[in-house]
Amino acid sequence: MSLKIAVLIKQVPDHEAIVQIGADGTLDIEDRYVCSFFDEIAIEAALDIRKAHADAEILALSVGGKRSVESLRRAMAMGLDQVEQLGDDSMDGADGLGVASLIAARLKTFNPDLVLAGKQAGDDDMGAVGPMVSGLMGIPLVNAATAIDVDADGGKVRMTHSMNGETWTVESGFPVVVTAQKGLAEPHVPVVMRVMKAMRAKIINTSTEDLGVSAADSTGRLKRLGYYSPPTRPQVQMVGDVNELVAVLAQRGVI
């Protein structure tokens, strides 16, 4: 049996990109976008699995407008050859459930054994899409996996993840949604040749209409009221010795 894997990815601002609140209250985001950190780990995990299962069929999916295409080109440059953009820029304001609904609709026909996604995206840090896809499809979920071992012939997969202070080794049959934590795989930097090739590739698009999902249904549950600066701390108080430090900590009631 040939193994079928779906990888869910998203393009987000780089870790180092400057993100600040503009004068009009919206965000100014520096134009440095990359494939989300945990999503690249998911891509690499899929490539690792293919090393042991050469006939594995891997489909990378990304939802939204032109940025989703950029993340798919990254996936191609890293070594995936089957990628697909779902929807268009009308999906860029979608919430997690909107995105998950579109993906679940596409996965119905792809029929994967394994769905890999990052544990959260580097922009909204919501951690919604992976678990929501599992809920919509009614299939098992293992969040934030740090190890994965696929037994395609036995029809099962074994994973390790951290669960509230313990390390759990769990086993699931197919299909299963697994989200990637740091440590699951080490993403490699693609070679220039592949990057160039991916730049020229034609990216397949499947529209919301084709999938029977309305972009209008992908919003309306959440309404953004505004952005705020992170809480700041007062100027640091320097202390000279440990007894003084202990006295201040006692005074603040934390020891």
Nearer to another protein, 140 or 195 (CB): 140
- Orientation of helix 192-200 relative to helix 66-78, angle to 10°: 140
Nearer to another protein, 19 or 191 (CB): 19
Task: Tell me if 249 contacts another protein by CB under 8 A.
Answer: yes
Task: Say how many Å lie between the first and final Cα of the chain, rounded.
Answer: 59
For the residues of 50-81, what is the DSSP string, one character each? HHH-TT-EEEEEEESSHHHHHHHHHHHHHT--
Nearer to another protein, 15 or 51 (CB): 15
Q: Which of residues 157-186 bind another protein (CB under 8 A)?
A: 158, 161-173, 176, 181-183
**Residues near 111 by Cβ (< 8 Å), separated by ≥ 6?**
4, 175
Binding mask 90-119 for another protein (x = CB under 8 A): -----xxx--x-------------------
* DSSP code for 26: S
**Residues near 194 by Cβ (< 8 Å), separated by ≥ 6?**
76, 77, 78, 79
Nearer to another protein, 15 or 200 (CB): 15
Residues 68, 90: Cα–Cα separation, whole Å? 12
Task: Tell me if 233 contacts another protein by CB under 8 A.
Answer: yes
Task: Tell me if 23 contacts another protein by CB under 8 A.
Answer: no
Binding mask 123-162 for another protein (x = CB under 8 A): xxxxxx--xxxxxx--xxxxxx-x-----------x--xx
* Nearest distance in Å: CB 129, another protein: 8
Burial zone of 119 (CB within 10 Å; 0-12 exposed, 13-18 middle, 19+ buried): buried
* Nearest distance in Å: CB 200, another protein: 32
Q: Which pair of structure tokens corresponds to residue 56?
A: 């594995």
Task: Tell me if 45 contacts another protein by CB under 8 A.
Answer: no
Of 76-84, 106-114, 200-208, 215-223, the segment contacting another protein by CB under 8 A is 215-223
Q: Where on the phi/psi map is residue 41: left (φ > 0), alpha (ψ -120 to 50), or beta?
A: alpha
- Total site size for another protein, rule CB under 8 A: 79
Instruction: Give the three-state DSSP class for 7.
Output: strand
Nearer to another protein, 60 or 99 (CB): 99
Among 23, 189, 193, 238, binds another protein (CB under 8 A): 238
Q: Name the nearest CA neighbour of 63 among 101, 108, 28, 120.
A: 101
* Nearest distance in Å: CB 194, another protein: 25
* Nearest distance in Å: CB 221, another protein: 4
